[in-house]
Amino acid sequence: MGSDYYETLEINRNATDAVIKKAYRRLALKFHPIRNRESGSSETFTELGEAYDVLSDPRKKATYDKFGEEGLKGGIPPEFGSSGAWSSKYVYHGNPDKTFKEFFGGDNPFADFFTNDTPLQFGGLQPGVVKTQDPQIERDIHLSLDDLFHGCTKKIKISRRVMNEDGYTSSIKDKILTIDVKPGWREGTKIIFPKEGDQGPNSIPADIVFIVRQKSHPLFARENNDLIYKAQITLQMALTGLSVDVQTLDGRLISIPINDIVDPSYNKVVTGEGMPLAKDPSQRGNLIITFDIQFPKKLSTERKHLIKQALAF
């Protein structure tokens, strides 16, 4: 009489793949020769390996369900068969340890159940045994100066490995992480999503950390909470005065009169026209205007004379 693989694994014939895995895990741990030295445990362990090897493979399982062990091991009868894998004869490799290791992974499947040579109960971890968390996963998030001035919402799709319902297998799934960017955030600000990394049976998922990187802006540079604006002016303007028009990040056009003589080290500070403060967006840094003075490349003799007269004290 042939083997009943379902009976061996103590499951019904309509068992799902997850149920098959769960049953094999429970019984293989129970009857493994390392854990069970009773008479007959080795034979049972081998039977469990063969049963799982068949029922975990969709084609082997389909052949077994339709033709039984005789059809599986003897080949599908000619009137039903066709060329290829469906008509081949199944032979178990006879190494239940190989099946066991392939299921649990690694060369030492019992590594997860021993700590400092102390055996743990298979029903759960003993008190005092703590899973270690995977290292942080850091990713840059590039934001424009406008994003950091006004604040915005960014949605980022990540792909990560998550454990299936059986608790032993995993699959890759996508997830959307939402970042609410606050006005005034600076370069280097970190946004942490705890335990959103890959899941595993023997570790705590890593934290995912996004680090703010500020994109360059065509008009402004940023220093902490201040905005730096460089105005190009002529030597005449530098000496006689001017007005600088600046289009702000919030869409206003402000005009700043410059009545001082502008030398190469001169800066004009406009209070409260910089970046919002992250801790209090109602407060703002300053706008600092620097100047790039454009000197004439050459002067005629007459103009040199006029300039000497004008600058004579």
Predicted confidence at residue 127, as pLDDT, reads 43
Helices 41-55 and 96-104 sit at what angle, rounded to 10 degrees? Answer: 60
Tokens representing 97 are 């340890």
Predicted confidence at residue 2, as pLDDT, reads 62
Predicted confidence at residue 203, as pLDDT, reads 81
Please report, for the chain, the start and end positions of each structural domain, with discontinuous segments joined by +.
5-119, 137-214, 220-294
Residue-wise pLDDT tens for the chain (313 aa)? 467 999 999 999 999 999 999 999 889 888 888 777 777 788 899 999 999 999 999 988 988 888 888 888 887 655 555 444 445 688 888 888 888 888 876 545 555 444 334 343 343 444 444 678 888 899 999 999 999 999 999 999 999 888 887 776 788 889 999 999 999 999 999 999 999 998 887 788 999 999 999 999 999 999 999 999 999 998 889 888 899 999 999 999 999 999 999 998 999 999 999 999 999 999 999 999 999 998 888 888 888 888 887 777 6
Tell me if domain 137-214 and domain 220-294 are identical in fold: yes
The Cα–Cα gap between 227 and 235 comes to 24
Query: Maximum Cα–Cα distance for the chain, whole Å?
Result: 122
CA distances for 49 relative to 42, 98, 151, 234, angstroms: 11, 9, 58, 87
Tokens representing 153 are 């919402």
- Full-model pTM: 0.56
CATH number attached to the domain at 137-214: 2.60.260.20
192: β partners? 209
The Cα–Cα gap between 52 and 276 comes to 63
Neighbours of 198 (CB within 10 A): 16
Q: Indicate the CATH number of 220-294 among 2.60.260.20, 3.30.70.120, 1.10.600.10, 3.40.50.300.
A: 2.60.260.20
Q: Indicate the CATH number of 5-119 among 3.40.50.300, 3.60.10.10, 1.10.287.110, 2.40.10.120.
A: 1.10.287.110
Predicted confidence at residue 47, as pLDDT, reads 92
Which helix (H) or strand (E) covers residue 257, if one does?
Answer: strand 253-258
CB 22 within 8 A of CB 168: yes
Which helix (H) or strand (E) covers residue 51, if one does?
Answer: helix 41-55
228: β partners? 221, 288
Predicted confidence at residue 94, as pLDDT, reads 87
